[in-house]
Structure 1
């Protein structure tokens, strides 16, 4: 057989096959009710009348079931017809049949829609099942989903969220969704679950339908947009978060109707589900929370002085013992990032970054202020006026607050954050832990700076008394004072700043630990002693040089006058010796005063050098107070 013959034969076979199926479809369609209202009125067509005349009695339900079975058969034939047409698109006779096929398809769609609506209204499971199989056969699932939405879902939702009333229910309460979702859940269970169970039945072949997304969720979203558009607005963060979390809970409730994990995945991938999530602009929400939380801390740090607090914040009945408002606001801001009424889990990375920024902001504010105080750059409008006006007591409170904050951040606070993020992977949790611990370390690193600030303040106050050291030298130079026998009055005042009650452990407990007080006292004493040594060494050195020069001048004058020079030393004690003796008595008393503070004078290198500078020759090697 030639090629042309085989082609012609195939052409004839295809034409016959298509013609046969088209005739079947048209014949079956003729058996459908001619009036749409017949579906709901319970009228029967000729086929059913014949069945009745043959002795078969049928009620309304059986009529619907019969019609649905006929529609399923038609849909199956129509599916085959479209399959054959798809393989013979270029054949001339197809063009002649297009109008007939299109007409049959439209009538099938209309009839199937009426039968499906009737089945839904009467909850006829068999009729609904057959209609759904028919829709699936002709690949027209969207029509079934839309019919269910308009027929069953829309009337229910509109009773709960009336459309066009957004202007009348202005305000936060008018846009709340939590109660609405509760009512919708009840309606789904009462009026929609029957269809969901039919379409999700195992081995039913109806998994192609997604009534959850394309019927229920679609109508809910439409109702919210038209009836409560303000529900999506992040301009009221608190109400927005409540609605957002309620919406996530509602989606989770819908997912509970999915028969399998793959069905859940399919539901989440539906376009309407994606559109629903896009309505919630969590980015703008976070920006508003950022301004709220970070702004509160910035306002507190902008104060020109440190502000003490008397009522420290409490959590779960536990007092946090913070002493400064700036520290209190930091802790409140840190906690706000992870409060239930603030946090959105999908933005947890942003809230973690905000947490670290808050810690960094506070650390930079404190370290920069202390550095500016040390360099004297605390002029007005510099942002560090607080550091200029701070007194030693303030820095004690800073040290205490730093310790409290670091302990909280690296302890309970960290555990709370990790618990909230427990659903994340171990690697992520480890990164979160390390970053927060690093933030806590940045706080601890501030303690030495605050201690140095206190030390500098104490030293500056103490060295004011050293001005009398120079006055003693002048006194011995200008008068013929006897050899001193007791220490000077100024000595008792040198360490008075260290003896003030702000270093009293009992009074400031628990603001300072004993270790911190010991470190403060030893550091200040070391610095004061160093200043003391520098001043005494300079005075004694100048005095000895002056005395040596005067002796050389005196000897020169005697030689010029013809006097006899003698190498016998003057038995009288020189003014320099008297001066050194006075300083020696003074540093002995100074050393005893150091001991009363718990500081061993001989452990301070500057004190040992000072002792050797002014002590008598026979006492220079042993420090004896």
Structure 2
């Protein structure tokens, strides 16, 4: 029963639960029980438990004390209990010793048995090897005897050793095999296949017992047998190729594969089928035209390889169709590379070594395309994609492609194409582009209309990168990179000269400001002179500047901007589709990457176009500032004459934006896009507004200081009681306000809302009368 003195929240029975967690118990109680109270209750409970423990011990203490007096003969009882345990331990140790001895004897027996088995296996291996060696010698003797029966000068007699057979293989055996009937040839090939299987066993046994002295002594005989068998197989394969027996061919190739000598079969096919075809084609070309000289070697390679392809198709097509249609044969042999391509490669190196030279790029291009077409023709014999990949990765294909020095060819093309562009990038004056043909050399759409020679050179370079007589699929990535470099060079050429023009303009403006003590920037003529001088100084310092940007008129710069627009349009509408067609075999992912790269190049060109239009705007602003400087005449007019309060704008204001209006009427500006024209007008209006703000602020500041000084001087002369002088500063400010309003109207006629320009807003706040300061800008 629970203690009634304990609080309701304290339940000691929870301490005895298996899942009791002290930390969780304390965390739960401390939410509504102070820790001091909980600690007090726990200590009280602990004391109660100790007291209860003492009571329990005291209840049975008397029996505990008398326990030792009641126990009698404890040692005797322990001895009686220990005796059977010791006897059992002795029996277990004795049994363990017997088992360990038996296990040792068993392990020794197993080791002796394994040694005997190994020795027996070696003995059986040597016996089998000797038996197979004797069988091979006997079979080779039968092969030699069958050959001797079919030719007057046959091979070695039956029963001779394999080494002796190897020495007499080449004497008359070829004619003997060639004279056999198809059935006899097939039987001979089956016999050779049987010998090949036994020779294969010999080779396996020799590799397995490589450490045996018996095998080392027998190895020369095994090698001689393999050489003799290969000789017989070479003769049989040559005869089989002439008779075109598919059964005999399959059996013969199986024998080659069994002895792991596919290269020997490839050499026989090369000498029997391929070499005569290639030699006839070469001889025909030598008879038709001389093969010497770089000019003659170029166009003849296509004819030579065409003749070779026709001959191989007529002579080797049945053989290749048969061998490549069988999976086992096609995996073991490489007739396309080791026989066909290797023989053609060797013949070209011997008779036409100049075809691989890249010294004449046009000839190299034609030769390489002819070689590529020839390789594609060879790949056409393959029946599976795995065979195509195996042929492309063969040693013969690697050696053949290595002979074509593609890096040198691209280097020559790069120098030609890039050099043509560099030669057209002017240093002093822009040269107009020559008349463009009606259509491109690639058979595509008409070339874009271009005004200047550098732009035409860029487009011509781009076209040459994908021209049919320049582009090579194997160099697709390099030609794409070259095209992108041409565009980047063109854009950098424009950006560099526009930066020089801006730096020269800033230098001229700073010089004009120092000379005039903070007055307005220099005029257009002075700006151009300073720009030309800065450009000449940069050129003398080794810079890239040449001075054309300083002498270029706004119309010329606008025409260059039109070239950029035409190039961008031509890139996106015509060039990228043509390039994608050239890259058709590279995959959709490559085409997307190329299109993205050229889109970025077009954006870079757009940035260069923006720099050009900025230069045009700056030039027009300089011309407008020449007119704007007449603003300073307002001060003299009101000071030197007695004029009434102004009510209309000055006459010069209507001419401030005349340079912009005149330029927008030119043919060069008319060909600009509407967006470019609007951007130009806005830039000019903003630039003129900034110059207007500077001049007006300087003029008003000077007028106020002068007017204040005149008033003080007149007051002193009249003893401090002089009359009020005319308030000319207000009249000048009013005239400026009327002029600024008229300037806003002129900007609106040019298509620009001057109220949205920051420079015009500042100008308005500078000249607006106080009673109209809160009114909106109105023209």
User: TM-score range, shorter-chain basis?
Assistant: 0.7 to 0.9
Structure 1 window deviating more from structure 2 (187-196 vs 62-71): it is 62-71
TM-score, normalised via structure 2 length: 0.68
1:176-325 maps to which residues of 2 (within 5 A)? 176=299, 177-202=301-326, 207-309=331-433, 311-312=435-436, 314-315=439-440, 316-325=444-453
Q: Distance in 2 between matches of 1:518 and 1:37?
A: 95
Q: Which residue of 1 aligns with 2:146?
A: 31
From 444, 465, 471, the counterpart of 1:343: 471
Q: Which residue of 2 aligns with 1:405?
A: 567
Shift of 1:575: 4.9
- The alpha-carbon distance between structure 1 residues 211 and 617, as it changes in their structure 2 partners (threshold 3 A), is closer
Q: Distance in 2 between matches of 1:624 and 1:201?
A: 90
1:175 and 2:288 matched: no
Q: Which residue of 1 aligns with 2:689?
A: 529
Shift of 1:512: 1.0
1:159 and 2:267 matched: no
Q: Distance in 2 between matches of 1:138 and 1:75?
A: 6
Q: Which residue of 1 aligns with 2:28?
A: none
Structure 1 window deviating more from structure 2 (122-131 vs 240-249): it is 122-131
Shift of 1:87: 4.6
Structure 1 window deviating more from structure 2 (318-327 vs 219-228): it is 318-327
SS in 1 for 2:293: coil
Structure 1 window deviating more from structure 2 (439-448 vs 213-222): it is 439-448
SS in 1 for 2:544: coil
Shift of 1:27: 3.6
The count of corresponding residues between Structure 1 and Structure 2 is 602
Q: Distance in 1 between matches of 2:670 and 2:638?
A: 48
From 148, 157, 165, the counterpart of 2:269: 148
1:546 and 2:706 matched: yes
- Are the counterparts in 1 of residues 450 and 563 from structure 2 also a CA contact under 8 Å? yes
1:54-203 maps to which residues of 2 (within 5 A)? 60-87=181-208, 104-161=225-282, 168-176=291-299, 177-202=301-326
- The alpha-carbon distance between structure 1 residues 529 and 97, as it changes in their structure 2 partners (threshold 3 A), is closer
Q: Which residue of 1 aligns with 2:105?
A: none
Shift of 1:221: 0.5
Q: Which residue of 1 aligns with 2:30?
A: none
SS in 1 for 2:535: coil
Structure with more relative contact order (C-alpha pairs < 8 Å, separation 6 or more): 1
Q: Which residue of 2 aligns with 1:452?
A: 614
Q: Distance in 2 between matches of 1:395 and 1:333?
A: 22
- The alpha-carbon distance between structure 1 residues 461 and 174, as it changes in their structure 2 partners (threshold 3 A), is same
Q: Which residue of 2 aligns with 1:326?
A: 454
- The alpha-carbon distance between structure 1 residues 451 and 204, as it changes in their structure 2 partners (threshold 3 A), is closer
Q: Distance in 2 between matches of 1:442 and 1:152?
A: 59
TM-score, normalised via structure 1 length: 0.83
Q: Give the aligned CA root-mean-square deviation in angstroms.
A: 3.8
- Are the counterparts in 2 of residues 163 and 227 from structure 1 also a CA contact under 8 Å? no
SS in 2 for 1:235: coil
Structure 2: runs of 5 or more not aligned: 1-112, 155-170, 505-533
Q: Which residue of 2 aligns with 1:378?
A: 535
- Are the counterparts in 2 of residues 68 and 127 from structure 1 also a CA contact under 8 Å? yes
- The alpha-carbon distance between structure 1 residues 37 and 124, as it changes in their structure 2 partners (threshold 3 A), is farther
- Are the counterparts in 2 of residues 133 and 206 from structure 1 also a CA contact under 8 Å? no
Structure 1 window deviating more from structure 2 (19-28 vs 374-383): it is 19-28
Shift of 1:222: 0.5
From 552, 570, 579, the counterpart of 1:417: 579
1:465 and 2:627 matched: yes
Q: Distance in 2 between matches of 1:555 and 1:12?
A: 140
- The alpha-carbon distance between structure 1 residues 337 and 15, as it changes in their structure 2 partners (threshold 3 A), is closer
SS in 2 for 1:371: helix
| Structure number with bigger Rg | 2
Q: Distance in 2 between matches of 1:235 and 1:43?
A: 48
Q: Distance in 2 between matches of 1:15 and 1:623?
A: 113
Q: Which residue of 2 aligns with 1:21?
A: 135
From 30, 36, 40, the counterpart of 2:175: 40
Shift of 1:186: 1.0
Shift of 1:584: 5.6
Q: Distance in 2 between matches of 1:206 and 1:425?
A: 28
Q: Distance in 2 between matches of 1:526 and 1:98?
A: 98
Structure 1: runs of 5 or more not aligned: 45-58
Q: Which residue of 2 aligns with 1:432?
A: 594
Structure 1 window deviating more from structure 2 (608-617 vs 381-390): it is 608-617
SS in 2 for 1:342: coil
Higher helix content, 1 or 2: 2
Q: Which residue of 2 aligns with 1:515?
A: 675
Structure 1 window deviating more from structure 2 (539-548 vs 13-22): it is 13-22
- Are the counterparts in 2 of residues 65 and 127 from structure 1 also a CA contact under 8 Å? yes
Q: Distance in 1 between matches of 2:120 and 2:705?
A: 133
Q: Distance in 1 between matches of 2:468 and 2:587?
A: 21
Q: Which residue of 2 aligns with 1:495?
A: 657
Q: Distance in 2 between matches of 1:102 and 1:580?
A: 116
- Are the counterparts in 1 of residues 147 and 176 from structure 2 also a CA contact under 8 Å? no
